[in-house]
Amino acid sequence: MNDDPVAALIAQHRLPGTYRMVVDRYWRPLADEIARQTDRKNPVIVGINGAQGSGKSTLCAFLEVLLDEHGLKAATLSLDDLYLGKADRQRLAEQVHPLFATRGVPGTHAPARGLAIFDDLAAGRNLALPRFDKGTDEPLNVTERIEGPVDVLLFEGWCVGCPPQADMDLLQPVNRLEQGEDSDGVWRSVANIWLKGDYAALFARLDLLVMLAVDGFDAVLANRQRQEDRLRATRPDAPGLMDQAALARFCQHYERLTRHMLAALPDQADIVFRIGPDQTPHGPVKGLASG
C-alpha cells in the first residue's frame, strides 16, 4: 500500500512534482468544503462542470483520495458515461435532426439512468456505474460496481449544471456547423428543450456545483486536441480517432453551450476555479475560504 496516495496519483497521471502545490492550494480546500457539506447532509452529490480538457477527471481522482483522508467514501460518475450508443443516436438523427447522431449536446445522454444512480446513492445501495468508450463511441457492456453506502458522488461533465438558454439567444447560429446544418435552429432548440426538462431534473439533485472555468473557447479547442493526441498515443487503432478537420467540426457541436456556460455559470456555481493554459487553476477562487 502506498503511504502517499497523492504522490502516487501525481505519478500515475504523469504530472510534474510541483503539482502537489496545486493539490494543497486548491484541491485540498475543496475536499475540506465537500466534507463540511457531508456534516449537514449525507450522501452529497457534487457537480463538477468544465469544458473538454479542463481537468475534471484528474480533479475527481484527487478528490477521491483527499476525501478518504476525511473518512469519506467517494465515487465518480461522468456525464460522458451516460451517452447513448450510436444506434440510439441514429434513431434521434432520423426522427428529430441529423446532428443528434453525434454525441455531445443534451439529448444524446440518458438522464434517467443518472437519476436512478442518484436514487441508489440516496438509499445507500451499491452503485453500478456505466462507462463509455470514446475510442469506439459506444457504451461498454460492463459497469463498475461500487459497494454502498457512498458518502460523496462526484458527478463530472462538460455541461453539468448548465442552465437553458433564452429562446431569443437561439436565433443566430454561432458557427459554420449551425449555419450550414441547423439553419432553421431545430437542433439547438430541441437540445435546449431537453436542457429545460430531463437535464434540469438531473442537475436539481446536485448539492454543490463546482466550475472549472477555462479562459475561452480557443482553450477548449487546444485542450481537446491534447485529449485526442493522448488517445492516439495509447490506442492508435481506435476507430473513433479524429483528424484535425474532424475534431474541429466535432467541437462545433459543443461551442454554443460552452460559450453560454462560460458567460452564465460563474455567477451560478457555488465554487469557481479559473483554469489557465497549463490546465491548472489560478486564483482567486470563488466560494472557498482559501485558495
Total domains in the fold of the chain: 1
Is residue 151 in a domain? yes
Domain holding 197, by residue range, is 5-285
> Could you tell me which of 117, 157, 127, 133 has the C-alpha nearest to residue 85?
133
Question: Who's near 106: CB < 8 A, 6+ residues apart?
Answer: 159, 162, 191, 192, 194, 195, 198, 199, 257
Is residue 250 in a domain? yes
CA distance 51 to 161: 12
Peptide bond into 43 cis (omega under 30): yes
CA distance 191 to 101: 13
Is residue 187 in a domain? yes
CA distance 190 to 185: 9
pLDDT grade for 230, boundaries at 50, 70 and 90: low
Residue 228 scores a pLDDT above 90:
no
What pTM value is reported for the model? 0.91
Q: How many CB atoms lie within 10 A of CB 258?
A: 22
Is residue 290 in a domain? no
CA distance 60 to 155: 9
CA distance 82 to 182: 25
Q: Which three cell numbers stand for residue 234?
A: 495509447
CATH of the domain at 134: 3.40.50.300
Is residue 57 in a domain? yes
Is residue 104 in a domain? yes
Residue 47 scores a pLDDT above 90:
yes
Is residue 253 in a domain? yes
Render pLDDT for 111-154 as a digit per residue (tens, 0 to 9).
999 999 999 999 999 999 999 998 899 999 999 999 999 999 99
Is residue 291 in a domain? no
pLDDT grade for 36, boundaries at 50, 70 and 90: very high
Render pLDDT for 258-290 as a digit per residue (tens, 0 to 9).
999 999 999 999 999 999 888 889 877 899 875
Mean pLDDT value across the chain: 92
CA distance 177 to 251: 10
Give the DSSP H/E element, type plus range, for residue 233.
helix 217-234
CA distance 34 to 56: 16
CA distance 155 to 77: 5
